[in-house]
Structure 1
Protein backbone atom coordinates (compact mmCIF):
# COMPACT_ATOMS: atom_id res chain seq x y z
CA UNK A 1 0.00 0.00 0.00
CA UNK A 2 1.36 3.39 -1.01
CA UNK A 3 1.33 6.14 1.61
CA UNK A 4 1.20 9.70 0.34
CA UNK A 5 2.76 12.44 2.45
CA UNK A 6 0.47 15.02 3.96
CA UNK A 7 0.47 18.19 1.86
CA UNK A 8 1.89 21.45 3.17
CA UNK A 9 -0.36 23.54 5.36
CA UNK A 10 -1.87 26.38 3.34
CA UNK A 11 -1.14 29.82 4.76
CA UNK A 12 -4.15 32.05 5.21
CA UNK A 13 -4.13 35.67 4.13
CA UNK A 14 -5.17 38.40 6.52
CA UNK A 15 -5.92 42.08 6.99
CA UNK A 16 -4.70 43.53 10.27
CA UNK A 17 -5.72 46.93 11.60
CA UNK A 18 -3.36 48.03 14.36
CA UNK A 19 -4.98 50.30 16.94
CA UNK A 20 -3.16 51.09 20.18
CA UNK A 21 -6.45 51.62 22.02
CA UNK A 22 -8.06 48.35 20.87
CA UNK A 23 -5.41 45.94 19.52
CA UNK A 24 -7.84 43.02 19.10
CA UNK A 25 -10.50 44.85 17.09
CA UNK A 26 -9.25 44.26 13.56
CA UNK A 27 -7.22 41.06 13.28
CA UNK A 28 -9.00 39.55 10.29
CA UNK A 29 -7.82 36.13 9.10
CA UNK A 30 -9.39 35.04 5.82
CA UNK A 31 -11.76 32.15 6.41
CA UNK A 32 -11.13 31.12 2.79
CA UNK A 33 -8.28 32.52 0.74
CA UNK A 34 -9.63 34.38 -2.32
CA UNK A 35 -9.19 32.46 -5.57
CA UNK A 36 -8.06 35.58 -7.41
CA UNK A 37 -6.27 38.78 -6.46
CA UNK A 38 -6.12 41.68 -8.92
CA UNK A 39 -3.20 44.10 -8.69
CA UNK A 40 -2.78 47.30 -10.73
CA UNK A 41 0.48 49.26 -10.81
CA UNK A 42 0.67 52.80 -12.17
CA UNK A 43 4.18 54.10 -12.93
CA UNK A 44 5.17 57.44 -11.42
CA UNK A 45 7.30 59.01 -14.14
CA UNK A 46 8.74 62.51 -14.29
CA UNK A 47 8.45 63.11 -18.04
CA UNK A 48 5.28 64.12 -19.85
CA UNK A 49 4.35 64.61 -23.46
CA UNK A 50 5.79 68.11 -23.40
CA UNK A 51 8.40 67.43 -20.72
CA UNK A 52 12.16 67.66 -20.76
CA UNK A 53 13.61 64.78 -22.78
CA UNK A 54 16.26 64.25 -20.10
CA UNK A 55 13.47 63.52 -17.59
CA UNK A 56 11.53 61.03 -19.71
CA UNK A 57 12.92 57.93 -17.98
CA UNK A 58 13.12 59.29 -14.44
CA UNK A 59 10.83 57.98 -11.71
CA UNK A 60 9.32 60.05 -8.92
CA UNK A 61 9.06 57.00 -6.70
CA UNK A 62 7.40 53.63 -6.36
CA UNK A 63 4.39 52.95 -8.57
CA UNK A 64 0.89 53.46 -7.21
CA UNK A 65 -0.42 49.95 -6.56
CA UNK A 66 -4.05 49.02 -5.98
CA UNK A 67 -5.40 45.61 -5.00
CA UNK A 68 -8.88 44.20 -5.59
CA UNK A 69 -9.91 41.12 -3.63
CA UNK A 70 -13.19 39.34 -2.78
CA UNK A 71 -13.47 37.74 0.65
CA UNK A 72 -16.07 35.06 1.43
CA UNK A 73 -17.35 34.71 5.01
CA UNK A 74 -19.62 31.82 5.98
CA UNK A 75 -20.97 30.74 9.38
CA UNK A 76 -21.97 27.21 8.30
CA UNK A 77 -19.12 25.38 10.03
CA UNK A 78 -19.47 27.40 13.23
CA UNK A 79 -23.23 26.78 13.33
CA UNK A 80 -22.72 23.04 12.87
CA UNK A 81 -20.25 23.07 15.77
CA UNK A 82 -22.68 24.97 18.00
CA UNK A 83 -20.56 28.12 18.24
CA UNK A 84 -22.43 30.47 20.58
CA UNK A 85 -21.32 33.66 18.81
CA UNK A 86 -22.40 32.35 15.40
CA UNK A 87 -25.74 31.22 16.81
CA UNK A 88 -26.40 34.61 18.40
CA UNK A 89 -24.87 36.99 15.84
CA UNK A 90 -24.02 35.10 12.65
CA UNK A 91 -21.08 36.71 10.85
CA UNK A 92 -21.97 40.25 11.95
CA UNK A 93 -18.83 40.48 14.16
CA UNK A 94 -16.55 39.53 11.22
CA UNK A 95 -18.19 42.06 8.90
CA UNK A 96 -17.87 44.69 11.62
CA UNK A 97 -14.13 44.02 11.84
CA UNK A 98 -13.73 44.93 8.18
CA UNK A 99 -15.98 47.96 8.39
CA UNK A 100 -14.14 49.41 11.39
CA UNK A 101 -11.09 49.89 9.16
CA UNK A 102 -12.83 52.92 7.65
CA UNK A 103 -14.73 54.23 10.68
CA UNK A 104 -13.27 56.84 13.05
CA UNK A 105 -13.35 55.64 16.64
CA UNK A 106 -16.55 56.66 18.45
CA UNK A 107 -14.50 57.87 21.43
CA UNK A 108 -12.65 60.28 19.15
CA UNK A 109 -15.91 61.48 17.58
CA UNK A 110 -17.35 62.16 21.05
CA UNK A 111 -14.16 63.93 22.18
CA UNK A 112 -14.13 66.13 19.06
CA UNK A 113 -17.81 66.96 19.54
CA UNK A 114 -17.06 68.13 23.10
CA UNK A 115 -14.11 70.21 21.88
CA UNK A 116 -16.27 71.87 19.21
CA UNK A 117 -18.97 72.62 21.79
CA UNK A 118 -16.29 74.19 24.01
CA UNK A 119 -15.28 76.56 21.21
CA UNK A 120 -12.18 74.83 19.84
CA UNK A 121 -11.55 76.28 16.39
CA UNK A 122 -9.46 73.53 14.81
CA UNK A 123 -10.06 69.81 15.25
CA UNK A 124 -7.52 67.29 13.96
CA UNK A 125 -9.28 64.55 11.95
CA UNK A 126 -8.97 61.12 13.59
CA UNK A 127 -6.47 58.60 12.27
CA UNK A 128 -7.54 55.34 10.68
CA UNK A 129 -5.91 52.15 12.02
CA UNK A 130 -2.49 51.29 10.64
CA UNK A 131 -3.61 48.57 8.25
CA UNK A 132 -1.58 45.69 6.82
CA UNK A 133 -2.50 43.35 3.97
CA UNK A 134 -0.76 40.01 4.52
CA UNK A 135 -0.52 37.61 1.58
CA UNK A 136 2.24 35.17 2.49
CA UNK A 137 5.56 35.92 4.12
CA UNK A 138 6.89 37.77 1.06
CA UNK A 139 4.01 40.24 0.88
CA UNK A 140 3.21 42.20 4.02
CA UNK A 141 2.03 45.59 2.81
CA UNK A 142 0.77 48.78 4.47
CA UNK A 143 -2.54 49.66 2.83
CA UNK A 144 -5.53 51.96 3.01
CA UNK A 145 -9.01 50.61 2.36
CA UNK A 146 -10.42 52.74 -0.48
CA UNK A 147 -13.69 51.03 -1.36
CA UNK A 148 -15.77 48.34 0.21
CA UNK A 149 -18.97 46.56 -0.80
CA UNK A 150 -20.77 43.72 0.98
CA UNK A 151 -23.25 41.26 -0.49
CA UNK A 152 -25.12 39.49 2.32
CA UNK A 153 -26.40 36.21 0.84
CA UNK A 154 -28.15 34.47 3.76
CA UNK A 155 -29.66 35.47 7.12
CA UNK A 156 -31.01 33.76 10.23
CA UNK A 157 -34.45 34.31 11.79
CA UNK A 158 -33.15 37.45 13.54
CA UNK A 159 -31.77 38.81 10.23
CA UNK A 160 -28.17 38.30 11.29
CA UNK A 161 -26.02 37.67 8.19
CA UNK A 162 -24.86 34.06 7.84
CA UNK A 163 -23.03 34.21 4.52
CA UNK A 164 -21.54 37.19 2.69
CA UNK A 165 -18.99 38.29 0.14
CA UNK A 166 -16.96 41.44 0.78
CA UNK A 167 -15.29 43.14 -2.19
CA UNK A 168 -12.33 45.22 -1.05
CA UNK A 169 -10.29 47.86 -2.83
CA UNK A 170 -6.89 48.51 -1.25
CA UNK A 171 -4.34 51.21 -1.99
CA UNK A 172 -0.80 50.17 -1.11
CA UNK A 173 1.04 52.86 0.86
CA UNK A 174 4.67 53.23 -0.15
CA UNK A 175 7.57 55.33 1.13
CA UNK A 176 6.12 58.09 -1.09
CA UNK A 177 3.06 58.24 1.16
CA UNK A 178 4.45 57.67 4.65
CA UNK A 179 6.94 59.45 6.88
CA UNK A 180 10.22 57.74 7.71
CA UNK A 181 9.12 57.25 11.33
CA UNK A 182 6.05 55.30 10.24
CA UNK A 183 6.64 51.50 10.38
CA UNK A 184 4.85 51.17 7.04
CA UNK A 185 7.70 53.10 5.36
CA UNK A 186 10.18 50.39 6.30
CA UNK A 187 7.75 47.53 5.61
CA UNK A 188 7.24 48.74 2.06
CA UNK A 189 10.97 49.25 1.52
CA UNK A 190 11.60 45.68 2.71
CA UNK A 191 8.86 44.49 0.35
CA UNK A 192 10.57 46.23 -2.58
CA UNK A 193 13.94 44.66 -1.68
CA UNK A 194 12.32 41.19 -1.69
CA UNK A 195 10.76 41.99 -5.07
CA UNK A 196 14.16 43.05 -6.44
CA UNK A 197 15.60 39.73 -5.25
CA UNK A 198 12.81 37.80 -6.98
CA UNK A 199 13.42 39.74 -10.20
CA UNK A 200 17.14 38.93 -10.05
CA UNK A 201 16.40 35.22 -9.61
CA UNK A 202 14.14 35.27 -12.67
CA UNK A 203 16.78 37.14 -14.70
CA UNK A 204 19.49 34.59 -13.85
CA UNK A 205 17.25 31.72 -14.98
CA UNK A 206 16.26 33.55 -18.16
CA UNK A 207 19.88 34.32 -19.08
CA UNK A 208 20.67 30.63 -18.81
CA UNK A 209 17.76 29.78 -21.09
CA UNK A 210 18.77 32.43 -23.68
CA UNK A 211 22.35 31.15 -23.76
CA UNK A 212 21.13 27.60 -24.18
CA UNK A 213 22.72 26.54 -20.92
CA UNK A 214 21.37 24.75 -17.92
CA UNK A 215 21.64 27.63 -15.46
CA UNK A 216 19.16 27.62 -12.62
CA UNK A 217 18.88 28.90 -9.09
CA UNK A 218 17.10 27.29 -6.16
CA UNK A 219 14.87 29.13 -3.70
CA UNK A 220 15.56 26.56 -0.96
Structure 2
Protein backbone atom coordinates (compact mmCIF):
# COMPACT_ATOMS: atom_id res chain seq x y z
CA UNK A 1 0.00 0.00 0.00
CA UNK A 2 1.46 3.32 -1.04
CA UNK A 3 1.66 5.97 1.66
CA UNK A 4 2.99 8.76 -0.53
CA UNK A 5 0.94 11.68 -1.76
CA UNK A 6 -0.01 10.72 -5.31
CA UNK A 7 -0.57 14.34 -6.41
CA UNK A 8 2.86 15.61 -5.34
CA UNK A 9 4.75 17.33 -8.17
CA UNK A 10 7.59 15.51 -9.87
CA UNK A 11 10.96 17.00 -8.98
CA UNK A 12 13.06 18.00 -11.95
CA UNK A 13 16.71 17.02 -11.88
CA UNK A 14 19.54 19.32 -12.83
CA UNK A 15 22.11 18.30 -15.40
CA UNK A 16 25.25 19.20 -17.29
CA UNK A 17 24.97 18.69 -21.04
CA UNK A 18 28.13 18.42 -23.11
CA UNK A 19 27.75 19.18 -26.82
CA UNK A 20 30.62 17.29 -28.37
CA UNK A 21 31.71 18.24 -31.89
CA UNK A 22 33.61 14.99 -32.42
CA UNK A 23 31.00 13.88 -34.95
CA UNK A 24 29.58 15.84 -37.90
CA UNK A 25 27.21 17.73 -35.59
CA UNK A 26 26.94 18.33 -31.85
CA UNK A 27 26.12 15.12 -29.95
CA UNK A 28 24.71 15.77 -26.45
CA UNK A 29 26.21 13.88 -23.53
CA UNK A 30 23.78 14.38 -20.64
CA UNK A 31 25.16 14.10 -17.10
CA UNK A 32 22.05 14.05 -14.91
CA UNK A 33 22.50 14.90 -11.23
CA UNK A 34 21.73 11.86 -9.11
CA UNK A 35 20.66 14.19 -6.30
CA UNK A 36 20.01 17.88 -6.76
CA UNK A 37 22.36 19.98 -4.59
CA UNK A 38 20.64 21.45 -1.55
CA UNK A 39 22.42 24.79 -1.93
CA UNK A 40 24.06 26.75 -4.72
CA UNK A 41 26.13 29.92 -4.39
CA UNK A 42 25.82 32.53 -7.14
CA UNK A 43 28.12 35.54 -7.49
CA UNK A 44 27.77 38.51 -9.84
CA UNK A 45 30.96 40.53 -10.28
CA UNK A 46 30.32 44.28 -10.16
CA UNK A 47 32.34 46.38 -12.63
CA UNK A 48 34.33 49.12 -10.96
CA UNK A 49 36.48 52.01 -12.14
CA UNK A 50 39.72 53.09 -10.53
CA UNK A 51 39.95 55.58 -7.67
CA UNK A 52 40.45 58.57 -9.97
CA UNK A 53 37.10 57.99 -11.65
CA UNK A 54 38.67 56.92 -14.93
CA UNK A 55 38.24 53.71 -16.87
CA UNK A 56 41.11 51.42 -17.74
CA UNK A 57 41.40 53.27 -21.06
CA UNK A 58 42.11 56.53 -19.23
CA UNK A 59 38.83 58.27 -20.08
CA UNK A 60 36.51 59.64 -17.44
CA UNK A 61 33.39 57.56 -16.86
CA UNK A 62 30.18 57.92 -14.91
CA UNK A 63 29.89 56.29 -11.50
CA UNK A 64 26.80 54.50 -12.81
CA UNK A 65 28.63 53.09 -15.84
CA UNK A 66 28.22 49.40 -16.63
CA UNK A 67 29.86 48.69 -20.01
CA UNK A 68 28.90 45.00 -20.12
CA UNK A 69 26.86 42.36 -18.34
CA UNK A 70 28.31 41.50 -14.94
CA UNK A 71 30.24 38.20 -15.04
CA UNK A 72 28.35 35.56 -13.10
CA UNK A 73 29.77 32.49 -11.41
CA UNK A 74 28.30 29.88 -9.13
CA UNK A 75 29.41 26.85 -7.19
CA UNK A 76 27.65 23.70 -6.06
CA UNK A 77 28.37 20.27 -4.63
CA UNK A 78 27.02 17.03 -6.10
CA UNK A 79 26.50 13.85 -4.10
CA UNK A 80 27.09 10.53 -5.90
CA UNK A 81 26.16 7.17 -4.42
CA UNK A 82 26.13 3.73 -6.06
CA UNK A 83 24.60 1.88 -3.08
CA UNK A 84 21.16 1.42 -4.64
CA UNK A 85 22.63 0.29 -7.95
CA UNK A 86 24.87 -2.27 -6.24
CA UNK A 87 21.79 -3.99 -4.80
CA UNK A 88 20.71 -4.90 -8.37
CA UNK A 89 23.91 -5.67 -10.28
CA UNK A 90 22.02 -7.27 -13.17
CA UNK A 91 20.32 -3.94 -13.89
CA UNK A 92 23.39 -1.76 -13.30
CA UNK A 93 26.45 -3.66 -14.58
CA UNK A 94 28.60 -0.53 -14.96
CA UNK A 95 27.91 0.64 -11.42
CA UNK A 96 28.54 -2.88 -10.11
CA UNK A 97 32.06 -2.79 -11.54
CA UNK A 98 33.08 0.86 -11.34
CA UNK A 99 30.73 2.37 -8.75
CA UNK A 100 30.40 6.11 -9.47
CA UNK A 101 33.73 6.34 -11.31
CA UNK A 102 31.99 6.61 -14.69
CA UNK A 103 29.98 9.67 -13.61
CA UNK A 104 33.05 11.31 -12.13
CA UNK A 105 35.01 10.63 -15.31
CA UNK A 106 32.23 12.12 -17.45
CA UNK A 107 32.43 15.37 -15.47
CA UNK A 108 36.22 15.39 -15.48
CA UNK A 109 36.28 15.09 -19.27
CA UNK A 110 34.52 18.46 -19.47
CA UNK A 111 37.90 19.95 -18.51
CA UNK A 112 39.97 18.09 -21.10
CA UNK A 113 40.62 19.28 -24.68
CA UNK A 114 38.48 17.38 -27.15
CA UNK A 115 41.09 16.62 -29.80
CA UNK A 116 43.63 15.23 -27.32
CA UNK A 117 41.30 12.68 -25.72
CA UNK A 118 41.25 9.02 -26.72
CA UNK A 119 37.61 9.20 -27.80
CA UNK A 120 38.15 12.49 -29.60
CA UNK A 121 41.11 11.14 -31.59
CA UNK A 122 39.29 7.94 -32.54
CA UNK A 123 36.09 9.66 -33.63
CA UNK A 124 38.04 12.42 -35.35
CA UNK A 125 39.79 9.79 -37.49
CA UNK A 126 36.48 8.15 -38.36
CA UNK A 127 34.85 11.48 -39.24
CA UNK A 128 37.83 12.46 -41.37
CA UNK A 129 37.70 9.21 -43.33
CA UNK A 130 33.99 9.73 -44.06
CA UNK A 131 34.76 12.96 -45.91
CA UNK A 132 36.84 11.12 -48.54
CA UNK A 133 35.24 8.69 -50.99
CA UNK A 134 36.85 5.77 -52.70
CA UNK A 135 37.75 8.03 -55.63
CA UNK A 136 39.40 10.61 -53.41
CA UNK A 137 36.48 13.05 -53.50
CA UNK A 138 34.05 13.95 -50.77
CA UNK A 139 30.96 11.82 -50.26
CA UNK A 140 27.75 13.51 -51.40
CA UNK A 141 29.55 16.74 -52.18
CA UNK A 142 30.97 16.93 -48.67
CA UNK A 143 29.23 16.15 -45.38
CA UNK A 144 30.41 19.41 -43.95
CA UNK A 145 28.31 21.53 -46.31
CA UNK A 146 29.78 24.25 -48.49
CA UNK A 147 33.18 23.94 -46.87
CA UNK A 148 33.51 20.44 -48.41
CA UNK A 149 34.15 17.78 -45.79
CA UNK A 150 33.82 17.40 -42.04
CA UNK A 151 35.23 20.19 -39.96
CA UNK A 152 37.98 18.79 -37.72
CA UNK A 153 37.74 19.14 -33.98
CA UNK A 154 40.07 22.00 -33.00
CA UNK A 155 42.70 20.90 -30.53
CA UNK A 156 43.08 22.77 -27.31
CA UNK A 157 39.34 23.48 -26.86
CA UNK A 158 36.90 22.05 -24.37
CA UNK A 159 33.37 21.12 -25.46
CA UNK A 160 30.45 23.50 -25.08
CA UNK A 161 28.66 22.72 -21.80
CA UNK A 162 25.14 23.72 -20.80
CA UNK A 163 24.02 23.91 -17.18
CA UNK A 164 20.34 22.99 -16.92
CA UNK A 165 18.52 23.89 -13.75
CA UNK A 166 14.86 23.67 -14.64
CA UNK A 167 13.20 25.63 -17.47
CA UNK A 168 14.23 28.95 -15.94
CA UNK A 169 17.99 28.43 -16.15
CA UNK A 170 19.56 26.87 -19.22
CA UNK A 171 22.93 28.52 -19.73
CA UNK A 172 26.31 27.84 -21.35
CA UNK A 173 29.08 27.51 -18.77
CA UNK A 174 32.78 26.85 -18.40
CA UNK A 175 34.06 24.83 -15.45
CA UNK A 176 36.40 26.97 -13.36
CA UNK A 177 37.05 24.61 -10.45
CA UNK A 178 36.66 20.91 -9.82
CA UNK A 179 37.39 18.80 -6.76
CA UNK A 180 36.37 15.28 -5.76
CA UNK A 181 36.08 13.84 -2.28
CA UNK A 182 35.91 10.05 -2.54
CA UNK A 183 34.12 8.73 0.54
CA UNK A 184 33.92 4.94 0.13
CA UNK A 185 35.37 2.27 -2.15
CA UNK A 186 34.43 -1.05 -3.67
CA UNK A 187 36.65 -4.16 -3.26
CA UNK A 188 38.26 -3.13 -6.59
CA UNK A 189 38.94 0.34 -5.10
CA UNK A 190 36.53 2.15 -7.38
CA UNK A 191 34.68 4.93 -5.52
CA UNK A 192 31.11 4.02 -4.63
CA UNK A 193 30.33 7.28 -2.81
CA UNK A 194 31.76 10.69 -3.63
CA UNK A 195 31.16 14.43 -3.33
CA UNK A 196 32.05 16.53 -6.37
CA UNK A 197 32.41 20.29 -5.87
CA UNK A 198 32.41 22.36 -9.06
CA UNK A 199 32.63 26.02 -9.93
CA UNK A 200 31.00 27.34 -13.09
CA UNK A 201 31.25 30.58 -15.04
CA UNK A 202 28.41 31.66 -17.30
CA UNK A 203 29.49 32.26 -20.89
CA UNK A 204 27.92 35.16 -22.80
CA UNK A 205 27.63 35.65 -26.59
CA UNK A 206 30.84 37.71 -26.59
CA UNK A 207 32.73 34.64 -25.35
CA UNK A 208 32.08 32.87 -28.66
CA UNK A 209 33.78 33.95 -31.91
CA UNK A 210 31.53 35.87 -34.28
CA UNK A 211 33.39 35.00 -37.51
CA UNK A 212 32.62 31.28 -37.48
CA UNK A 213 30.36 29.61 -34.95
CA UNK A 214 29.68 25.93 -34.61
CA UNK A 215 26.14 24.69 -34.18
CA UNK A 216 26.77 23.93 -30.51
CA UNK A 217 27.86 27.54 -29.96
CA UNK A 218 24.74 28.86 -31.67
CA UNK A 219 22.65 26.67 -29.36
CA UNK A 220 24.56 28.03 -26.38
CA UNK A 221 23.92 31.65 -27.39
CA UNK A 222 20.22 30.95 -27.95
CA UNK A 223 19.94 29.36 -24.49
CA UNK A 224 21.73 32.31 -22.87
CA UNK A 225 19.39 34.83 -24.49
CA UNK A 226 16.36 32.75 -23.50
CA UNK A 227 17.43 32.63 -19.84
CA UNK A 228 18.35 36.33 -19.87
CA UNK A 229 14.89 37.21 -21.23
CA UNK A 230 13.25 35.20 -18.46
CA UNK A 231 15.23 37.15 -15.87
CA UNK A 232 14.02 40.43 -17.40
CA UNK A 233 10.41 39.22 -17.34
CA UNK A 234 10.66 38.21 -13.67
CA UNK A 235 12.20 41.57 -12.80
CA UNK A 236 9.32 43.33 -14.56
CA UNK A 237 6.82 41.17 -12.64
CA UNK A 238 8.39 42.30 -9.38
CA UNK A 239 7.69 45.93 -10.33
CA UNK A 240 3.97 45.15 -10.36
CA UNK A 241 4.25 43.68 -6.85
CA UNK A 242 6.05 46.81 -5.65
CA UNK A 243 3.34 49.33 -6.62
CA UNK A 244 1.26 48.71 -3.49
CA UNK A 245 4.34 48.96 -1.25
CA UNK A 246 5.41 52.25 -2.84
CA UNK A 247 1.93 53.74 -2.35
CA UNK A 248 2.00 52.75 1.30
CA UNK A 249 5.31 54.59 1.81
CA UNK A 250 4.01 57.92 0.48
CA UNK A 251 3.10 60.46 3.21
CA UNK A 252 0.08 61.76 1.29
Range of TM-score over shorter length? 0.7 to 0.9
- Partners of 1:171 and 1:141 lie apart in 2 by 10
The correspondence of residues 33-182 of structure 1 with structure 2, limited to 5 A, is 33-44=36-47, 47-50=49-52, 51=54, 54-82=61-89, 83-105=92-114, 106-107=117-118, 125-180=155-210, 181=213, 182=217
CA displacement 1:20-60 (0-9 Å, x = unmatched) = 32666741100000000000001235x43221555322212
CA displacement 1:77-129 (0-9 Å, x = unmatched) = 11112221111111111111000000123256799xxxxxxxxxxxx642211
Aligned length: 198
- Partners of 1:109 and 1:144 lie apart in 2 by 22
Report which stretch shifted further, 50-59 or 86-95: 50-59
Residue of structure 1 in register with 2:224 after alignment: 188
How much has 1:12 moved relative to structure 2?
0.3
- Partners of 2:65 and 2:229 lie apart in 1 by 19
For structure 2, the 5+ residue unaligned runs are 125-153
Report which stretch shifted further, 14-23 or 136-145: 14-23
Pair 1:109–1:41, CA change in 2 (3 A): same
- Contact 2:21/2:27 (<8 A) preserved: no
What RMSD, in angstroms, separates the aligned Cα atoms of the two structures? 2.5
How much has 1:17 moved relative to structure 2?
0.9
- Partners of 1:25 and 1:139 lie apart in 2 by 18
- Partners of 1:58 and 1:174 lie apart in 2 by 19
Residue of structure 1 in register with 2:20 after alignment: 19
- Partners of 2:201 and 2:230 lie apart in 1 by 19
How much has 1:6 moved relative to structure 2?
1.8
- Contact 2:82/2:193 (<8 A) preserved: yes
- Contact 2:173/2:200 (<8 A) preserved: yes
- Partners of 2:45 and 2:75 lie apart in 1 by 14
The TM-score, its normalising length taken from structure 2, stands at 0.71
